[in-house]
Structure 1
Amino acid sequence: MQRDTLTADLLLLLTALLWGFAFAVQRVGNEFVGPFTYNGIRFALGAASLVPVIRWLDKRKIGKPVEKTLDVPLPFWGASLLAGFVLFCGASLQQVALVYTTAGKAGFITGLYVVIVPIIGLFLGQRADKGHWIGATCAVLGLYFLSVTSSFSLAPGDGMVLIGAVFWAIHVVLLSWLAPRYDAVRLACGQFTVCAILHLVIAFFTETLTLSGLYGGMWPILYGGVISVGVAFTIQVVAQRRANPAHAAVLLSMETVFAALGGWILLGEMLGSRGLLGCGLMFAGMLISQWTDMKAS
């Protein structure tokens, strides 16, 4: 059991790494195509990249079947619609916000879902430990220093990322409920398909797509579609079959560190002293939350 837990933790950490660097890549993608077009194409690529994987698993019969001991509350298409809609909300808010804010800041604010997840748990009858509330306080203070300017105004885009963090938290909790009840790879493909369709429909009415834009944004789109979506989100679904929501959120929140690192390496983004203080407080909140989970287990 401990080995399975360690494997799940390492997979979640790998997911955080791939997601973190995706913030910088997504910001580059916005320079060539609209945010809804970018997300629509990348989630469509992510879904398409899983089709041969599903066929390969079926052919060799190594895909894990649905456990009959677990209640399946929704038909598969219903689970895909639910997960895909929540994913769409988080992804669209994040991508639009990256037009106005930096990759590093967006990554750190998104990481607030590490403390939002146990708060959601309260409404589901799950008790949050004292350490979670201390971690939440540190994270909120960090968010203030990172995102709110000295004139007490929220920088453009930061508010959208914060709202998106709520949807990412809901997505983590939702997957912890759905992943053990459905085939993991099929569920990932289903939610990507729903998310892609929703983005592309909005893009059709609000954005203009050009061949030059597609060509210029080819590499950001490929990374966002195949790596960030096809690989990382699928790893998340597989790993969350064995991880509880709060613990998974802590590990996935490490994407904030990788986002800042990716913004620095790929885009040359720098944070001032106020921003660094905010990042430090948010990271401290995440560590406190993690320590609380480890102590409880």
Structure 2
Amino acid sequence: MSDERPLDPADGGVTTEVRGRILLMGLDRPAKMNGYTPQMARQLVAAFERLDEDEDLWCGVLFGHGAHFTAGLDLPKFRDAMKDGRRSTQGERVDPMALGRRCRKPIVTAVHGVTYTLGIEMMLAGDIVVAADDCRFSQLEPLRGIHAAGGATIRFVDRGGWGNAMYHLLTSDEFDAEEARRVGLVQEVVPAGTQLDRAIQLAEKICEGAPKAVQATKASSAIYLRDGEAACIAALGPKQAELAAMDDAEEGVAAFRERRAGNFTGR
């Protein structure tokens, strides 16, 4: 789906780069601390849809250009949408915030510097987070007269528990990468400047697995979170039968017997 609106350089964008089976997606408005604009939102949706639909791409890595991941929404540019409750990805498009249609492929997010509001929600919408040790996090929407509407009130509670979530959501305090790891928001903390390389390494590790099996694993966990244990259990057998009938399952057995890495194709 294309977007024909003219681009405004001042409103930034999202870069994309293919590295093997990985799609790198970079928030690109560094002069404004990657403050997120509607133009960036449209481009990020397009990037996520490319990742979701291209069978040659098996994993995505999301990061920010410049000194920071993102300072969050550029509020004046979203004011009208907030007033009428609109979201830029309502409908059938892939939603980078995973509040609507989820991307089927895994997302590894590398964060650094200022990672405020939408930045926290964006990383929690993905699957694995690598944080630089210079990260500064804050979910400060109440200080701007609004509340977090991109998933923080769901995923912060889910990852960190009620008390930890309320501590940070209600106080709007700033906290560091070690605190984010302590409460389960990030999985690794690495020296600043190495976060993107580490995220790519993890994406490459994910790509060692059969892509349909990896996608099924993510989807199974998403069913559990959305529909509960019984629905997740009910879907396990049929999906396993589907996977077992694929060429990649045969390759997996051969790789096991021959004690070598699998050479998977997605078929």
Q: Name the TM-score, length of structure 2 as normaliser.
A: 0.30
Q: Name the TM-score, length of structure 1 as normaliser.
A: 0.28
Structure with greater helix share of residues: 1
Structure with greater strand share of residues: 2
Q: Whose relative contact order is higher, 1 or 2, with alpha carbons under 8 Å and at least 6 apart?
A: 1
